[in-house]
A and B are shown apart, each in its own frame.
Chain A
Amino acid sequence: MSATRPSFAQRHAATLRQLRFYAWSFGRSPSSMLGLAIVALFFALAAFGPWIVPYPLDATGAMNLGNRLKPPSAAHWFGTDEMGNDLYSRVILATRTSLWVGLTIVGAATVVGVPLGIAAGYFGGAVRAAIMRVTDVFLSVPGIVLALAIVAALGPGILNGIIALAIVWWPGYVRLVEAKALALRNEPFVEAARAVGASHARILAVHILPNCTSPIIVKASMDMGLAMLAAASLGFIGLGAKPPAPEWGAMISVARTYMPNWWWYAVFPGFAIYLTVLGFNLFGDGLRDILDPKSSRG
């Protein structure tokens, strides 16, 4: 009977049409496509960086003091830094650090924020009041200042930076998901599910969570860039990655004393941050336009 079985395309016609529509809308926006391209490049560099850079050892503590602060050249496309290391290699290899930072912060924020948000929105009442009050407190904390305090207390280092930023990042997700879950709670299909005696867990898993995914995906993709930017900012204040690991913010922090005569030292890492954050933001913006068009808010 296999001959009469509907093909994959037929079975999922609606889904495929939806996806085609997304792709079509996304592709129509040049800025979204640019974002996609940058994000793809970023992931590629993070994945294959060590194999494509000319001096992979320069990110692990090599020194070449005879070659300090050389301007960009054929041998060193982005020039060299104050330890004689190849900046091109270090900038490329730092993508991995950034990727890791972005993923971890956003991941942690999602893991903490989404369940809390769903619980608050779905259960309402005292649960919601408690969760949202705590969230509001955290939201009112100036993120970078709290992160600064945390890192100053724990000591610098990427991990501490990530912890600090994750602590200030999750409340945004609670807010986002809570509003959505609150709206969904009163949707007829949820009421129907409740009426037929579905368990809370089932309702949450089957009805609430899937309907929250679009805004979460959009926010997460935007936050990737912003989290990297925040981590770089901490790096700049001197609270970033441990040497010799390359990290853009920390590189700029060192490089600023070499401005403007050794401009390449600060310019390339800064541009890398800018491009990456830009890419993720454009990408997220594009995603929002197609997945969550109603919410193009600040």
Chain B
Amino acid sequence: MILFVLKRVALTGLMLFGLVCITFTVSNVAPSDPAALAAGPDATRDMVETIRREYGLDRPLPEQFVRYLGGLLQGDLGRSIVTTRPVTQDLARYFPATLELVLLSMTLGVLVGVPMGMVSAVLKNRAPDHATRFVAVSLVALPAFWFGILLQLLFSVQLEWLPTSGRLEVATPPPPPLTGMLLFDSLASGQWATFGDALSHAVLPALVLSFPCLASILRVNRAEMIEVLGSDYVTAARAHGISRLRVVCVLALRNAMLPTLAIIGLRWGWMLGSTVLVETVFDWPGIGLYAVSSAIAGDFKPVMGVTLLIGLNFMIANLIVDILYGVLDPRLRTAP
């Protein structure tokens, strides 16, 4: 097991290197001068040069690459030209917000997707099943950016039930920072009002972000459940007089956990990535918004940082899922 983990970690390092190569190449294919943007519209050429020197942009690309790699080994992702701050600091500032959103969405996706998938499977090919599948496909097909805006207009602008954007009301002081995730921090410090405030801000973006994930979980659970329900051991369980409810809810659910887990692992990185759209719509100050604003400014260190962070997350999530698989699936537990 330990050897397996070590091997995976080494592999992850290798993959990260590949990722760095890709993002670095992508970032430098086009002539772009972020220094000019940072210097301001009126800056003279030598002022732009000052900035370019400061950020090492005047060096040849291979040298920049080697320097970036060197920095990376020390946990340094370079500096954002736009915010002038180290990318790691910016990420530390924005990542908790994204994490909060993704965790909330995942929870939503699991809590809604798993039961819906089960119901759909039990009532296979009947009206509720068709309806559920239609909803599932719809959730994938809905453009998040568009539907997010519609929801925002409905719940925030027309009905005024929910706040429009941001993470907290302007005058609500944030809870003492612990994780940076407001929901968590406010709970940890017992600030219920702040928790409610943060939750009311997070509901819509989390909902929109959860849709594709929810659909995936639903679909997988339905498929798995159909397979399990059709399996011999369920037939056997039924033949032994175990009630259908218990067969569905306990036995089959346990089997459904594994693929759900796999989906969460797969979707984890994916959802971090799709925060790009949702955070833009809801002004959620997370890494997605950070990536978009940096990309549009031609500021590539943050974009690379975000890409690496998400890639790393993806790899770690898969590693964890693999390990959890081993824990949860007795067939793999004793396997070498």
Contact = CB atoms under 8 A, between A and B. Distances in A.
Contacts of A225: 141
Contact of A133 (B14, B22, B138, B310): B14
B249 to A, nearest CB: 21
A150 B291 CA distance: 12
Interface stretch (B27-35, B61-69, B234-242): B27-35
Residue among B14, B270, B307, B315 with most chain A CB within 10 A: B307
A136 B13 CA distance: 12
B273 A145 contact: yes
Interface stretch (B73-81, B295-303, B328-336): B295-303
Contacts of A232: 143
Contact of B310 (A137, A142, A273, A297): A142
A141 interface: yes
Contact of A149 (B11, B27, B277): B27
A97 interface: no
Contacts of B274: 142, 144
Interface in B266-284: 266-267, 269-270, 272-274, 276-277, 280
Contacts of B273: 142-145
A145 B146 contact: no
Interface string B142-185: 11111101100100011000000000000000000000000000
B223 A150 contact: no
Given A142-B310, A298-B263, A233 B30 contact: no
Contacts of B277: 144, 233, 236-237
B296 A233 contact: no
Nearest to A259: B153
Q: Is the interface of A mostly helix, strand, loop or mixed?
A: helix
Nearest to A226: B140
Interface string A259-294: 110000011011001111110011001000000000
Contacts of B280: 236-237
B125 to A, nearest CB: 8
Contact of A298 (B134, B266, B307): B266
Nearest to B311: A140
A144 to B, nearest CB: 5
Interface stretch (A11-19, A116-124, A151-159, A201-209): A151-159
A94 interface: no
A152 B296 contact: yes
Contacts of B133: 31, 285
Contacts of A150: 26, 29
Nearest to B146: A270
B194 interface: no
Contact of B149 (A133, A144, A152, A266): A266
A243 interface: no
Nearest to B12: A140
A149 B140 contact: no
A146 B22 contact: yes
Given A140-B19, A238-B296, A260-B153, A154 B219 contact: no
B146 A252 contact: yes
A52 B33 CA distance: 46
A138 interface: yes
Given A31-B133, A152-B295, A274-B143, A142 B314 contact: yes
Nearest to A269: B146
Interface in A201-245: 225-226, 229, 232-233, 236-238
Closest 8 CB pairs of A and B: A142-B273, A270-B146, A137-B18, A277-B141, A152-B295, A296-B223, A278-B141, A142-B310
Given A270-B146, A273-B141, 18 more contacts: A137-B18, A142-B272, A142-B307, A142-B310, A148-B276, A148-B291, A152-B295, A155-B30, A237-B276, A237-B292, A249-B143, A260-B153, A270-B143, A277-B142, A282-B134, A296-B222, A297-B259, A298-B267
Interface of A: 29-31, 133-134, 136-146, 148-155, 225-226, 229, 232-233, 236-238, 249, 252, 256, 259-260, 266-267, 269-270, 273-278, 281-282, 285, 296-298
28 contacts: A31-B137, A133-B11, A133-B18, A137-B19, A141-B311, A143-B273, A144-B277, A152-B298, A152-B303, A153-B28, A153-B30, A155-B30, A226-B140, A232-B143, A233-B145, A236-B143, A237-B276, A237-B277, A259-B149, A260-B158, A266-B149, A269-B146, A270-B147, A274-B138, A297-B219, A298-B259, A298-B262, A298-B263
